[in-house]
Structure 1
Amino acid sequence: MELSRDGPGLLLRDLARGDAQADAAAQVIADVAPDIILLQNVDYDLELRALGALRDLIAQKGLNYPAMFALTPNTGMATGLDMDGDGRLAEPEDAQGHGAFTGQGGMAILSRWPVDTGAVQDLSGLLWRDMPDAMLPTVDGAPFPSAAAQDVLRLADVAHWAVPVLHPSGPVTLLAFHASPPVFDGPEDRNGRRNHDQLLFWRHYLNGTFGPAPDRRFIVLGHANQDPNRGDGIKAGIRGLLSDPRLQDLIPQRRMGDPPDATVHWPRVSPSYMRVSHVLPSLDWTVTNSGVHWPMDGANAELVATASRHRIVWVDLEVD
């Protein structure tokens, strides 16, 4: 979903007074009715008032989520440094993750079952330089944009979370993320390299590189900002994640259209239809169905187009 606004508090304002796009997003979520959903591009506030208002709006459409979860994202988090090498400070590009204010375009989880908040791992503070074999950008052999910038820049553009959900059959761990776009930079390929390493991160995490990691009943899910076969970017990152033997890449299909695996329509990008969002269950799950919610005609098609350029990727899992 795309529920980010241009200033702090504006999402809550829009939800309070009524907003066609937010209303459409709530209706689409209620129509798909996932038991657990990871929301992207949702502005964060400390008391989760905007998220609570969104949850209430979804409830008005007939779907109730007793549990909600979000943490402060890296988006808009000031660094005080020139992070993109343009010689200017205090721009959205100079935050830990692109954002005009702290919390802009964060992530959130809504769930039918409670989140084990005491066991959550917030891995968003990991510095990019501390990634094994980090592809840090350089220009003429020097760190780009500066050594000082690389000393503080976090790997995650938005967040990396490991979130246990307490399902009645036992905990399910959500490995949630939102990666950087691999474009909007220069020949140093800063964003492309960061996107690659953000996707590679989960393979290192599952190896135990950053501490204890689940070995069963986990799901890697998020917005990769990267299609494994189409568009720009360093494809090794997304292809490595999708082919990891611990994960199931279901390549969910929609009913019609080319390409059939697309999860987004970016009208100003070529190609405009790409697969950039993923739900990847661990190998021990039995998958009964999967897909992308993308009605092609009629009122439902108009509704989802109003809600977001992105479409909901869903997976049905059998619980033992």
Structure 2
Amino acid sequence: MSHSTAGQILAQTASPVTERFKKIAAIIQHVRPDILLLCEFDHHGDGGDDGALDNFCRHYLAVAQQSNLDEQTLPIDYPYRYLPPSNTGLLSEVDFNGDNQCTLPEDGYGFGDHHGHYGFVILSRYPIDESQLRSWQHFLWRDMPGNQMPAAYYSAEAQKVFRLSSKNHISLPVVVGDRTLQLLCCHPTPPVFDGEEKRNLRRNHDELRLLVDIIDNADYLYDDKGVQTGLASTDSFIVMGDLNADPVDGDGSKSAIKQLLHHARVNRSVSCGKKTPKSVGGRFARIWQPRNGRASEWTHLSGLRLDYVLPSHDLRVLKSGVFWPDRKDPMRPLVVDEKGRERAQAGSDHRMVWVDIRI
């Protein structure tokens, strides 16, 4: 739900007429997650709702969707919402790409045509405790020990201000009864669209490493309030995000995503065990390049596992899945166009990942 022109998503959600948004809403209503992360949802770059998310909740999620299905999906309400500030489209005063001018998208702290482009949002049916939010939006890439920043590509001036997180890394507390869950959310840059210096591949690697180091409460960290902090060893958490990394296939570095998936505090059954989210529909996707990973675990039309919901090891997992209906499923129209083709324009090039936990 992003557009190269600021304000377009606000305009498109102002009335319930966009078929693609209806399909997205119907998927959400069908799966009915209590806590939901939506990536690539344009909003104010400084955080907060410009009205687009409220429009989407009011005109789409609060309305039963037909979407060519035999039965309607039921409305769903998310009274608690958080829209974090984002580095995307935030223009730097320093020339990052060496063309002697500061212009978007190349000279933004995160790639975007306007501030807030490709942002992410969280919706919840449980209270969000924003007073205890921690974020690492301003953390400098150079301040990560052993970082992979291509120093020969970025000038000394650029290295002094370049932020690691391409959007934001946040730890958002959600209160479920007498328990608090830390939602560890981010959306690292894709490890492509760069040159021989591999700046995006390297940044993706270090954004994933930042996730791991937040879980480990690494001593070099500082959050946006200047506090040395990561997760406490007693925190229950759920990593959520389009991490743009597949542990088997794709262009990215495999080491960082494997370090996360095999982390001692991550629920192994969900990250790489029997309860790894799967679908039936992914097996029938028409992938044009050879892949070695399991098709049932793909979450993207390119035949990659990019999207993750990873509970901490202390949370009891009941079941999981990827919403990717097969050809005979009555929900199939939600992921294909009018000609039955699986295309990004039909709804999304990603598939929803869900995990049920019991508190």
TM-score (norm 1): 0.92
- AA partner of residue 351 (structure 2): R
Superposed displacement of residue 47, structure 1: 4.6
Secondary structure, in 3 states, of the residue corresponding to 2:62?
A: helix
Deviation at 1:115, TM superposition (A): 0.6
Equivalent of 2:277 in 234, 252, 260: 252
Aligned to 1:170: 179
SS in 2 for 1:303: helix
Matched AA of 2:167: V
Output the CA distance in 1 between the equivalents of 2:282 and 2:84. Answer: 36
Deviation string, structure 1 residues 140-184 (Cα, Å, up to 9, x no partner): xxxx22111111111111110100011113111100010111111
Match of 1:19 in 2: 18
**CA pair 54-282 structure 1, distance change in 2 beyond 3 A:** same
Percentage of pairs with the same residue: 36
Question: Displacement of 1:59 after TM fit?
Answer: 1.5
- Residue 254 of structure 1 contacts residue 261 of structure 1 at CA under 8 Å; is this kept in 2? yes
Q: Matches of 2:279 and 2:100 in 1, distance apart?
A: 45
Where structure 1 has 5 or more consecutive residues not aligned to the other structure, the ranges are 266-271
Alignment-derived partner of residue 308 in structure 1: 348
AA paired with 2:206?
D
Q: CA deviation at 1:81?
A: 2.7
SS at match of 2:321: strand
Deviation per CA, 1:98-153: give whole Å up to 9, x if none: 000000110100000111010001211111111121111033xxxx2211111111
Q: Which residue of 2 aligns with 1:121?
A: 134
Aligned to 2:41: 42
Counterpart CA distance in 1 for 2:161 and 2:357 is: 39
Of 32, 52, 55, which aligns to 1:53?
A: 55
Aligned residues: 307
CA separation in 2, counterparts of 1:290 and 1:91? 39
Contact 2:38/2:122 (<8 A) preserved: yes
CA distance 1:212–1:196, shift in 2 (3 Å): closer
Greater RCO (CA < 8 Å, at least 6 residues apart) = 1
Could you tell which deviates more after superposition, 121-130 or 38-47? 38-47
Q: Kindly provide the CA deviation profile for residues 289-313 of structure 1, in whole angstroms up to 9, marking residues without a partner as x.
A: 0010100225522313422111110
Higher strand fraction (1 or 2)? 1
Q: State whether structure 2 residue 85 is matched by structure 1 residue 72.
A: yes
Q: What is the alpha-carbon distance in structure 2 between the residues aligned to residue 129 and residue 180 of structure 1?
A: 17
- Which residue in the other structure is 2:68 paired with? none
Label 1:85 to 1:236 Cα distance change in 2 as closer, same or farther (>3 A).
farther
Q: What's the TM-score, normalizing by structure 2? A: 0.82
Question: What amino acid is the match of 2:13?
Answer: L
